[in-house]
Structure 1
Amino acid sequence: MNDQNTDQIKKEARRLQKELTGHSYQYHVLDDPVISDVEYDMMLKRLIEIEEEFPQFSTPDSPTKRVGAPPLTGFQQAIHSIPMLSLDNAFNDQDVLDFYKRSVKNLNREDILYAAEPKLDGVAVELKYENGTLVQATTRGDGVTGEVITQNVRTIRSVPLKLHEVKMRAPSLLEVRGEIIIKRTDFDRLNKIRLEHGENVFANPRNAAAGSLRQLDSKITASRPLDIFVYGTGFVQGISFQSQSLMLDTLKDFGFPVNSHIKSGLTIDGVLKFYKELEALRDSLSYEIDGMVIKVDDIFLQQQLGEKIKSPRWAIAYKFPAMQKTTTIKDIIVQVGRTGTLTPVAILEGVNIGGAMVSRATLHNEDEIKRKDIRIGDKALVMRAGDVIPKVVKIIESERKGDEVPFEMPVHCPVCKSKIEKVKLDKSIINKCVNASCQAQLKERIKHFVSKKAFDIDGLGKKIVVQLVDEGMLKSFADVFFLEKEKLACLDRMAQKSATNLTRSIEKSKNISLRRFVYALGIDHTGENAAKLISERFSTLKDIMETSEEVLEEINGIGPETASAVCKFFSNFENKTILEDIIYSGVIITNDQPVIAESHDNPFNNKRIVLTGTLQSMPRSEAKKQLEKLGASVTSSISSKTDFLIAGENAGSKLEKAQTLGVEIMDENWFAALLKKLV
């Protein structure tokens, strides 16, 4: 490659490194993203390609360094420059007032102002920056010595690898302290994936975060949805702070995420008032908090107050009421989901957890019950977290009296009485009702069918669906489109106007994209993303119905379980009849994805392709975009599974590897000519 082209690649690498770092700051610090996640991922993928081909353009703080490093054999230990002390706890207003009185006495002044912040339920860490670059990350450990987890922390997108120096120059040394967390929705998604793979679920987000940070293989950590909020500093050289609030403002300017629910300049009465406000916000926050941290705002006053052996005198944690409580499991019942999966549910002695009465908790599956040895009559520790379904954390075995009853999964469906089948899913066994006419399944399937991301039928809520199924007015998906206004108006809580609005909404929903239609069918293992990938590959519903498992598996992102489930669904005679009825009702399915040319005209369709070298006719990013429109999967590395290598000028090592592996090589002229014909 000539010097001019090398300079262009170097400039592109530097631009991408800078822009990706800026986009992370916009997303995690300012909470104001300017590009989509997909665009970010595409830019990151391109930067990875460049740095793989031109390692001399990689930098220690490049965003690509977040993807994980070779596994460690163990964790080293490091001593904190300044001990990471724990906090004393307050459990009521009087405890906080006593803390205030001690401060007044020690400082001999009453005009003390405070900063108050949510007490995050995560894992405390310390990040060490030298001249603005992250050089080490450690856990809190015992407060004096922590474990070095630098490789793992580097994978967290919200942790700046290099400090932003827009408003001021980075100090020569800065130790920043924060809390690593997993947000609630990310935690639920993580546990769902673990259940699907037959793995044990995490008890709570904090345990998940702690386990993720202690992985010897940082690639595992990189796959976990970790996040951070910073709250303070350790040892600092080259900069000083007058107050806690000004320190946090400075850390935010340097690129660190700082919690938006922090208040400063509070009197002690203001602190107690803010505690009530924060407690009311608790369930609506996207992350777990278990209290509020109160700190003297003035750092000079903090230094005057000093520390005790294990905790500072200038801060205290005001804990919220417990979100975990012990109660009795009165019974275990079984619910049937839309795919027929049986889920055991614990019926509890009602208990108030965090301000809400809890009388039920999910037990996930039969294997989970066996693993935790859960029995009817047991005393159990139950956890509630916001809107998440309460769950049994563990059994209190010391409370057993001997009359507890072991649970046995029923052999027949509790709703339709059909025989239950045991289906292996990865490492676990799930129990399923395979009767497609089961009313419990039908209700859940129709709820999904009419939901916002599917047909989006306004007015057809859960209670109405249940009523329509119970009344025999809905026996399949297709029946939704044949509901009559006069019969609807006769239902309980359904007047003439409501019936009219519902039928209008049903009529409006009849124009639907192929992607949403496939998702609406609720096929096993076929969520939003799988439906999108399938609709990108096929032009019509008929094409999908006639395809094979082998063709589906060739789609990048579609695995054998999804391919099998899709083919099984569309080969079922009853399902085919329902689909015919849906089309007959007037439903029109359009494809909002790019139409891919037929295989015999389009040599790129469903092929794995690698681009290398410099293309004269277009940027490689544009070539990639066009190839993906034509159904190709464009990857960054050559393997024996690669179908084509499209080689521009100065193709380099990838061309040599393709020749060695016998991969078909296409030059730019041939590629451009084919593209002109197809696009």
Structure 2
Amino acid sequence: MALSEAEAANRLLRLAKEIARHNRLYHDQDAPEISDADYDALVRENAALEAEFPHLVRADSPSRMVGAPTSSALTKVPHAKPMLSLDNAFSGEEVEEFVARIRRFLALGDAEPVCLTAEPKIDGLSCSLRYEDGVLVRAATRGDGTVGEDVTANVRTITDIPERLTGAAPAVFEVRGEVYMAKSDFAALNAAQEAAEQKLFANPRNAAAGSLRQKDASVTAARPLRFLAHGWGEVSELPADTQMGVMRAIGDWGLPLSDLLIRADGAGAALAHYGHIESKRADLPFDIDGVVYKVDRLDWQARLGFVAKAPRWAIAHKFPAERAQTTLEAIDIQVGRTGKLTPVGRLTPVGVGGVIVSNVTLHNRDEIARLGVHPGDRVVIQRAGDVIPQVVDNLSRDEAREPWAFPDHCPDCGSEAVAEEGEVDVRCTGGLICPAQRFERLRHFVSRPALDIEGLGEKSIAEFLGYGWLERPGDIFRLKRHRDELVGREGWKDKSVDNLLAAIEAKRAPDAARLLFGLGIRHVGAVTARDLLKAFGTLPALRETAQAAHGGEAGALAQLTSIDGIGPAVVEALGDFFHEPHNVDLWEDLLSEVNPPAYVSNARQTEWSGKTIVFTGKLETMSRDEAKAQAESLGAKAAGSVSAQTDLVVAGPGAGSKLKKATELGIRVVDEAEWATIIAATGV
């Protein structure tokens, strides 16, 4: 059934939040909750909705994001060139369409061959190695694609990675690839962990990620990590003009490449190699989850450029999910930070693709109804990537039983549990009176993406809740009143108490956007919080406008919705939050303890950031898609029609009504040559 515009906006909002959470779990915490296939389905749904409703694309859209913000104790380092992700294909037809899109974008004739490279997609941790004058000077994880974590000391312990390149390497060359753990090494590591009665790793990918991101390089050195190169980042010069040529040079310099990397003459040959790799998958020494194709000609790669978070010239062809049968022993309900009741299936442990799994998320009430599952049912689970799987079929569906009753009250506090109109998630209405939410909300408030109070972790929060010292965020800044009571308790000495209190005092003037995000207001994630504070500057100004909009003031509503990425759901959530007396008390109590300065954005800007550009007429030196991509690279928006909000019109031969309207409105008009000059002058 087709969605209305309002329904699409709400669904895009929920998808942005859900996908961002799974990105953090996978990239930052190495603790994914859902399968790759389940994640890919969310991303594909988001892309389909954005294609149908392009004017509803959000500022925090998953299509604009890569990875997750770094949050470990490792030093943060910016990437000279972003480390982007790849779009996915799930069938041969989609791969053929990928090649067809390249032809259309580059305006190639049917006889012009589109050669690709094809290689296995290693299931490891992305890493960038920067060599200067042939010497390794820095290694970094991908992080959020813009900023990664410095793992140079750890990478120096990996024998696959040379300290110095052989031969004549360029002055600067960043090699990018995957750090991974071989299947046999993973089995040996877990055997050693078990013998030492230590925690076992879930799979090789998690073991590799956890090993590489150690603060102590000696721990990494003791782990059998390996590396395969698959590309490059910033370079002072390239040794060849094709993808395959540069990869061969990287191999000649002493870095390992996949033995299954080939150059394929078109989609047919690439798909044949996909079949070959899939047939060898079980026997390969490492885990893979697909095959990556890249346009071989580098000049074509440069013309194709990027869209949002991925290159147009590359795609990952994913393998089908692996499946197994097991018994659903129980369905437990977990209450999250926002009060969401999430059903979790407890499974009879079963092996799927070399990993033993015993838990599966059942997502929500509607998913349980769709599957018709009950405790005791025989179910089919699938695994795409080394993560906790999803239930794809219920083999006991035909047995005559009453539907399993989803709870209508919170299992933790007994408050009513309801679903908002148009939403599938059921939430506890108890708020901070709910023990589950109170703990999670306070933990979220002090987490790294929010206030980032060092030393105030889960254990301490739980302890202070037990003492009755914490009920709401403002209480954190009154913990100093309990200093003498805390000193001498188990695990607390003068120094540790004073360090914690000093860390708390250091947050008396917190970043306003982090503070807003930390409050856990529905639909207000980290990106949305930044967007709101960029527009309003201070928290009191935001509150005043949100309350006015909730009261029906048209000007306030217009001011909020004019912010890119802020839709009806965010406006409603802000209004509801400030309408509740206990939330206002919490807000005023918190601001009596802290004084966040006016928000200042550190985002890099160009003269075209946020401006609107329209292309009209026939473009002679590039396709329309290429022109729009250039506009987006400047931070501008490429619109399809001219209005008073248009900042520039690029007019080619044959321009008609759009050019006329631009002239009438006094909008600047340039031809294709002048547009090329603008592009060159920006240096973006």
TM-score, normalised with respect to structure 2: 0.48
Q: Which has the higher contact order (CA 8 A, sep 6+)?
A: 2
Using the size of structure 1 for normalisation, the TM-score is 0.48
Larger-Rg structure: 1
